[in-house]
Each structure stands twice: as structure tokens, then as C-alpha cells.
């Protein structure tokens, strides 16, 4: 191992340890995957005590510009309701190393509402399948109203549009696979818009195309890397 490789490994370990402090809510949960392109529910104002709502993007995947009236921006209608606001492709998963990834998710946790979970981060430790014992830190950017308690719906491009089908509105001739589940092979990632392909490839590479693995989760402090992408940090 070279000196620089050793330094990088140490820095990664320190970064990981820094997010795993102040544990709060924890339990077992199930996971699924989705990518509907809709404006995240935590992008609306006054959902939780945060610095600002989750970043939202235009149809061409550019962050919506700040206006003099913040609520004008944050109240911009979702593309799934005919408006100009969509999820940003940067809110996709990526690998830090072979056993740890970062990303975003919709979630519904028992006895926890939007006030509690919007922009909160959770360490997921996968319990089965090809990712058993791998870990992922996700920031909640969406609330899964149609999910059961203790359920994380991981945001993975090409993961299935679900009931809203926002990607069909955002991208002409969108080829995202099945409504639930999305694309089925790594080759199908090439059919997605270019800005969605890296997150789709993550699913087949780091995530080993795992199919809804169960997790043990616990709340952790959010890594700055996730906050820098979402623009949202909890105040308590």
C-alpha cells in the first residue's frame, strides 16, 4: 500500500466514524428502490427544522434559482403536477469504497413524521443478499406516504418511477424500465438520460443488483458530502 493510498484509507475511516455519532432512532427496516423524478417532498417549505428545504431542479436538471422571496422558490409546483420542479440527478447514490456508500432515500419510520425525518441521515447496514454487511448512509429527501412503517425507498436512477411517472414528463422518450423496479440489466442504464447513468451503474456495481435487502438502521449525523448536495441541514 502506497503512502497516499494509506492516507486516503485513513481519511475515509475518519470520515465514516464522524457520521456515526449521536445515534438516535434505530430499528430493523425493509428497503425498495425508486426514481420518479418528482420534486422531493422535503423540498417544500416548513416541513422540518432545517436550514432550507432540499434542492430542487428544473426540467433540464439545473438547480432552480434563488429568488428574493424564498417561499416563491420552495413552493414551485412539482413536475409531476404540471409544474417546473423536479428531483436533481446529483441526489443519486455513489460508493466511497467497497463497503460504504452515500445516497438519498424516501422513508417512512414508525411514529416519525416529516418534522422528524426530513433531511435526517441514517446508517443502513444491509442484512442479506449480495450486499450483506455493506453499509450506506442515506439522507431522507422524500416522505414515502405509500410505504409501511420502517421502510427506506432508496433513490436509484432507473429504479422505477412508481405511481407518479415524473421522468416521463421530464424526459422525452424516457426508457426507465418497469414502473416498479425499473431497469433490469446494466445495459439498460445506457438508455437512461446521461445524468442518471452513474447512479444506475452504482446499482449493478457496488449494490450488486440487490433486490430489496433488509437493513438495521440508526440515525447518525449527516456527512457534509450529502448536505452539500441536498443543501439541507437539520437544525435539531
DSSP string, 158-205: TS--TTT-HHHHHSTT----BTTTB--SGGGGGGS-GGGHHHHHHHHT
* Contact between 39 and 46 (Cβ < 8 Å): no
Supply angle C-alpha 112, 216, 17, rounded to 5: 95
Q: How far apart are CA 84 and CA 77, in angstroms?
A: 6
User: 104-115 burial, b if ≥16 CB within 10 A, otherwise e?
Assistant: bbbbbbeebebe
State the catalytic residues. 36, 153
- pLDDT of 113-139, one tens digit each? 999 999 999 999 999 999 999 999 999
* Contact between 88 and 57 (Cβ < 8 Å): yes
Cell numbers that stand for 141 in this block = 429527501
pLDDT at 71 over 90: no
Smallest CA-to-CA distance from 47 within 145, 163, 146, 123 is with 145
pLDDT at 217 over 50: yes
* Contact between 57 and 189 (Cβ < 8 Å): no
Q: Give mean pLDDT, residues 218-232.
A: 97
pLDDT at 80 over 60: yes
Banded model confidence at residue 66, pLDDT cuts 50, 70, 90? low
- pLDDT of 149-184, one tens digit each? 999 999 999 999 988 889 999 998 999 999 999 999
pLDDT at 12 over 50: no
Q: Which helix (H) or strand (E) holds 217?
A: strand 215-220
What is the pTM assigned to this prediction? 0.88
- In CATH terms, the fold of domain 3-230 is Barwin-like endoglucanases (2.40.40)
Amino acid at each position: 500500500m502506497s503512502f497516499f493510498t494509506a492516507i486516503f484509507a485513513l481519511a475515509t475511516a475518519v470520515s465514516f466514524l464522524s457520521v456515526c455519532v449521536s445515534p438516535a432512532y434505530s430499528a430493523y427496516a425493509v428497503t425498495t428502490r425508486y426514481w420518479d423524478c418528482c420534486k422531493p417532498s422535503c423540498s417544500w417549505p416548513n416541513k422540518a427544522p432545517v436550514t432550507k428545504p432540499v434542492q430542487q431542479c428544473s426540467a433540464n436538471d439545473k438547480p432552480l434559482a434563488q429568488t428574493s422571496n424564498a417561499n416563491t422558490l420552495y413552493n414551485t409546483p412539482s413536475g409531476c403536477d404540471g409544474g417546473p420542479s423536479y428531483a436533481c440527478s446529483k441526489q443519486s447514490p455513489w460508493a466511497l469504497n467497497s463497503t460504504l456508500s452515500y445516497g438519498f432515500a424516501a422513508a417512512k419510520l414508525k411514529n416519525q413524521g416529516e418534522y422528524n425525518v426530513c433531511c435526517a441521515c441514517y446508517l443502513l447496514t444491509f442484512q442479506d443478499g449480495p450486499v450483506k454487511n455493506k453499509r450506506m448512509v442515506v439522507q431522507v429527501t422524500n416522505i414515502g406516504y405509500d410505504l409501511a412503517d420502517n421502510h427506506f425507498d432508496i433513490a436509484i436512477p432507473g429504479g422505477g418511477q412508481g405511481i407518479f411517472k415524473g421522468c416521463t414528463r421530464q424526459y422525452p422518450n424516457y426508457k426507465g424500465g418497469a414502473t416498479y423496479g425499473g431497469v433490469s440489466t446494466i445495459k439498460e442504464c445506457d438508455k437512461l438520460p446521461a445524468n442518471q447513468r452513474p447512479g444506475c451503474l452504482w446499482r449493478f456495481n457496488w449494490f450488486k443488483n440487490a433486490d430489496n435487502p433488509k437493513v438495521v438502521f440508526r440515525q447518525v449525523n449527516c456527512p457534509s458530502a450529502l448536505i452539500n448536495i441536498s443543501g439541507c441541514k437539520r437544525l435539531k
